[in-house]
Each structure stands twice: as C-alpha cells, then as structure tokens.
Amino acid sequence: MKKVLLTLGLFGAVMCAHAADPLNGTVWKTIDDETKQPKALVMFTEQKNGTLSASIQKILTPDEEQVCTHCDGPYKNKSLKGVTIVHGLKNVGGNKYENGSILDPKNGKTYSLKGELAGNQLKLRGYIGIAALGRNQTWIRAK
C-alpha cells in the first residue's frame, strides 16, 4: 500500500510540474491606464520554451486606430487584431511573472514587463531600465 501511495504521489508531483501556466489560454480585457476604459481583448499562449506571449483578439474601442502605424517590423501598418503585444513573460514562482516585454501599439515602443496574477486581475508594470521608472496597468479576466 505504501508503494502505491508513493507512486501516486510521485505521479501527481510530475503532473503538477508539467501543468500549463495559469495564464495559458486565458483572455484578458486590457484597461487603458489613462482613460480607465477597456481597449482590447488579449489572449495568452504558452510557448514551447515555457514563456508566455499574448496577442490582440479584438479591439473594443470603435474610435481607436485599427492599424499599427507606429509599429516596426511585420506589424507595421497592419491590423491590430493578431498583433502579439507580450513576449517572453515567464512565471518566476507563484503568481509572479517577469522578464517579458510588451509592445504599446499606440507609440510603437517596447517595454520590459513584469506582473502578478491576483484572482481576476492581472497587474502589469511596463518599464524601461528599472521597474521604478514605468507605468502600471491592471487587466481584467474576460468572461
């Protein structure tokens, strides 16, 4: 009986170690940090290397520019729908994430990114250089 319990315990531990990240496959409503209005729906996807990326699924503001005029590379002058705005975000333990980057389609700039998952909120901080020099956004889990 002890061997069975030990085997089941080890199997459970292995399964937990290989479980998908809690953000994987979730959709979030981005909230503009200046206007406090919803801007877009963004979906997270776990990459083969274990990091997360997030792409715009839908623009929620009808008056918002629908193309990425300030973006560089493959997204320049393309529809915002489908643009990957988060790259390389890594779970560093618990509900904390670091070492990512985020694209601001409004100005085409890319910032370092860290965040924390807190229930139905994803608290993010984009910054250049050090986290103290940045800005916060809180995204809300879409239903």
> What is the share, in percent, of the chain residues with pLDDT greater than 70?
85
Please check whether residue 5 lies inside any domain of the structure: no
What's the number of domains the chain is made of?
Answer: 1
Please check whether residue 1 lies inside any domain of the structure: no
Task: Report the alpha-carbon distance of residue 42 to residue 56 in Å, rounded.
Answer: 4
- Dihedral (CA of 128, 25, 91, 142) sign: positive
- Average pLDDT value for residue range 113-132: 94
Contact present, 89 and 99 (Cβ < 8 Å): yes
Please check whether residue 2 lies inside any domain of the structure: no
Please check whether residue 66 lies inside any domain of the structure: yes
Please check whether residue 3 lies inside any domain of the structure: no
CATH assignment at residue 63: 2.40.128.520
Please check whether residue 89 lies inside any domain of the structure: yes
Range of the domain at 90: 21-141
Please check whether residue 15 lies inside any domain of the structure: no
Please check whether residue 12 lies inside any domain of the structure: no
- Average pLDDT value for residue range 8-19: 45
What's the pTM value of the predicted model, to 2 decimals? 0.82
Contact present, 57 and 27 (Cβ < 8 Å): yes
